[in-house]
Amino acid sequence: MRERYDLLIIGAGPGGYVAAKKAARLGMSVLIVDKKEVGGTCVNRGCISTKALIHSAMLFHDMKECEMFGLSAENVNFDLQKIYEYKDQSAAAMRQDLETEFAELGIRFVKGKAVIHGGKNVHITMDDGSVEICHGKNILIATGAKARYADIPGMELPGVMTSEELLTSNESQYGRLLILGGGVIGLELATVFNALGTEVTVIESAGRLLPKMDKEFSEALEEILVERGIKIYKESVLERVTDKNGLHCHFVANGESKKVDVDAVLVSVGRKPNTEGLFAPDLPIRTEKGAVVVDDFFMTSIPGIYAIGDVIGGVQLAHVASAQASYVVERMNDLEPTNILDMVPTGLFVKMSIIPSCLYTDPEIASVGLSEEEAKKYGVPVRCGRCIMKTNGQSIIKKERTGVIKVVFAADSDVLLGAQMLCPRATDMIGELATAVANGLTSRQLMYAMRAHPTFNEAIASAVEDSRGQKISW
C-alpha cells in the first residue's frame, strides 16, 4: 500500500525545506525527497559554502592589513585544505539543524531520485535500486537549477569547472584563475581567490559588470576590484580553451585577440532549471525552455502540482524560493499569504520587485526596488538622496575608504521606491529598506526612528535626509 501525504516536496533546498517546515507546523503530513543532502545546492555547494570562503578570505586580508590598527602579526598564512574543511563544517552544521527540525516536526526525508507520474504519484528510486511509490494530495517541485556551461571549445577539459565543482575541489591552490562571467557568483569567488593571492582574470560579455545593477554601483565595484589587482575585460568573448602544457584561454577584447595562461577556469554564465528526468513521459506538464510554467499562484498546468524557485526561472535567489514556498503553503491552507514579491506603489503604474539582491564582495553591495536608471526608463519622476560613507563614524574607525548609500523616492508621493548600498554590512542593512518599500513608507516616516551612533546603519538616515533637499530627477 503506497504512502499518502498532504504535501510531497521534491527538492530539499531553501524552497523545499521552508515549505516542509511551514506545512508541518500547519498540521500537514509531509514527505520531502532529494537526490542528495538536505539543504540543496544553497547549503552544500552554493550560498553557505561561498559565504564561508568569503569570511575566511576577508579575515586573512584583514590580518595582513592589521598594522593600520596598531596590531602586528608575523608569518600570516593560510591552509586552503583547512579553509575548505571550515566551509564543509558550516554546511554540515546547517544540515544537522535542518535534520533535527525535520525530526521534531515529523517531516519524513527520503534520499532518492523522484519521478512524477500521473495521478500525483511519485516513484522514488533509492541508492540501492529499490523503488517506493508515494502519493501527494499536493506536490511541490523545488528542484532548483544547475550551473550552465558555455558552448565554447574546451569546456570539457580538466580544470574547467562550475562554481559547484570549484567549491568541492580543494586539492590545490590556484595561482592563476580565469572567471568567465562578471555576475554575482563570479565576482564573489573573484573576491575570495584574489584575497588568497590568486591572479584573477574576469571576462564579461556585457559592457559592464553586474549589468542589472545600478551603473554607479557596478562601476564603483569594478574600480575597487581593479585596484586590488583583478584584471577585468568587458565586452569580451572567450573563444576557446586549450590544454597544451597547462590551460590557455583565447579571447577577444576590444577587437583584439588575447591569450591568458591559467591553472583553472571558472564558468559562471548562469544556471538552468533542473528538470531532467523529473517527469514521466506520459505526464503532460507544461515547460518552456526547460523551466516549469506556473500561474500567479505557482500552480503548474496540472492542478495540485506546484513549482517554486529556480526551477520556474525568473529571479534565482534562495530567499525568493523561500518566500514563494511560504506563499504556496499558506494558500494550500486557505491562509492570507504573508510574503509579497512585487507591488505597484501608490500613484504609480509600474509593477516593481521588492526582492532584495545581495552581493557578498568586499565591500558588500545590496539593493531593493527601483534604481534611478530604472525610474528614468519608466518615466517616473524621483528624488534621490546619497550618503558618502567616508564621513560615517564606523567607516572612519574601520578605515573604509569607499562606500555610498543611495535612496530613491517618488517625487510626488515621497514613497520610497528603491535603495542601493555599497558598504560594509550592506547585506544586513538592506532589510530595513526592503521593509520600508514593501510598506510604502515615505522619507518623513523613515526619519521617525533614531539610528544608533556610531553605526553604518545611521548613514541611511543621512541619505534619506539628503533626498529631502534634492531636485527632481527625470
Pairwise CA distance, residues 219 & 198, whole Å: 22
**Cα 459 to chain centroid, rounded:** 25
- Contact criterion met (CB below 8 Å) for 217 and 402: no
- Contact criterion met (CB below 8 Å) for 136 and 7: yes
Total residue count of the chain as it appears in this document: 474
Pairing of strands 199-203, 176-180: parallel
Count of other CB atoms within 10 angstroms of residue 338: 10
Pairwise CA distance, residues 92 & 43, whole Å: 9
Specify the DSSP class assigned to residue 136: E
- Contact criterion met (CB below 8 Å) for 429 and 457: yes
Q: String of b and e for 449-473 (b: at least 16 CB within 10 Å)? A: eeeeeeebbbbbbbbbebbeeeeee
- Contact criterion met (CB below 8 Å) for 248 and 242: yes
Q: Which of 61, 248, 319, 453 is catalytic?
A: 453
Pairwise CA distance, residues 432 & 59, whole Å: 27
CA Rg value for the chain = 24
The three cell numbers of residue 281 are: 513521459
Q: Exposed, middle or buried, 474 (CB in 10 Å: 0-12/13-18/19+)?
A: exposed
**Annotation marks residue 248 as catalytic:** no
Write the secondary structure of 329-367 as one string of H (helix), E (strand) and C (coil): HHHHCCCCCCCCCEECCCCCCCCEECCCEEECCCCCEEE
Residue located via cell numbers 510598506: 439
Three-state secondary-structure class, residue 450: coil
Stretch (H or E) spanning 321: helix 318-332
Specify the DSSP class assigned to residue 214: -
| CA torsion angle 147 149 154 156 (round to 10) | 50
**Phi and psi torsions of 160, nearest 5°:** -95, 120
| CA torsion angle 164 165 170 173 (round to 10) | -100
- Annotated catalytic residues are 453
